[in-house]
Chains A and B, each alone.
Chain A
Amino acid sequence: GEDVEQSLFLSVREGDSSVINCTYTDSSSTYLYWYKQEPGAGLQLLTYIFSNMDMKQDQRLTVLLNKKDKHLSLRIADTQTGDSAIYFCAEPSGGYQKVTFGTGTKLQVIP
């Protein structure tokens, strides 16, 4: 299958911005997604971006897409302790029957 790569760990101080990066491999993906997994829970869809967009902003979240480099990033402004979680990027596969997840980035927010 396709490999979607992320760095494993990110530590930031409360109030700073967090930037989580992702490299995907399927250039034909129409949408790209970000999920959040809080401790002891399943994944929840956080936001997504359509492939013809460069940027999408949703309150404290900003998604940036560089299709040429197949690079996706999630910026969290004013990071709070409640943002501590594992974040996964993902792309659809199998005609939208499936999703391929990245390796996940664990975000630690230091008070």
Chain B
Amino acid sequence: NAGVTQTPKFRVLKTGQSMTLLCAQDMNHEYMYWYRQDPGMGLRLIHYSVGEGTTAKGEVPDGYNVSRLKKQNFLLGLESAAPSQTSVYFCASSYPGAAAEAFFGQGTRLTVV
């Protein structure tokens, strides 16, 4: 099983450009999450989804949008990238109520110049 797969793994954007990060999981998990990881700040939750067609805001949602059209996919969009969005982004998925036992993807390193 592939588990949680994120694409792309690396990306450099210019300020103002848009892009979409794709997360795919093959474990039939209901819950999916997008986090960003910054030095000294741990992982912060951007958005999450508790089922197909549903999304909710996390701790740092501003500047991001998400969609969960299919159960296995969770997309994170940046409409107009800013240097403050330079970060490593992680997707994760879990069974309901088991956020602490989530499976994580390998991460996407995004640089906004």
- Please say whether chains A and B are actual partners in one complex: yes
Interface residues of A (CB under 8 A from B): 1, 4, 6, 8, 31, 33, 40-45, 48, 88, 90, 92, 94-99, 101-104
Interface residues of B (CB under 8 A from A): 4, 31, 33, 35, 40-45, 48, 50, 58-59, 90, 92, 97-107
In the complex, the answer to whether A40 meets B107 with C-beta atoms within 8 Å is: yes
Name which residue of chain B comes closest to A33, CB basis.
B100
Most buried by B among A33, A43, A104: A43
Name which residue of chain A comes closest to B97, CB basis.
A96
Excluding A41-B104, A42-B4, A92-B100, 20 further A-B contacts by CB distance (< 8 Å) are A1-B59, A6-B42, A33-B100, A40-B106, A42-B103, A42-B105, A42-B106, A43-B43, A44-B104, A45-B100, A48-B100, A88-B43, A90-B100, A92-B99, A94-B99, A96-B97, A97-B48, A99-B102, A102-B42, A103-B42
Instruction: Check A97/B50 contact, CB under 8 A, given A40-B107, A42-B90, A103-B42.
Output: yes
Q: List 19 A-B contacts (CB under 8 A).
A: A8-B40, A31-B100, A41-B104, A42-B92, A42-B104, A42-B105, A42-B106, A43-B43, A48-B100, A88-B43, A92-B99, A96-B99, A97-B31, A98-B45, A99-B100, A101-B35, A101-B44, A102-B42, A104-B42
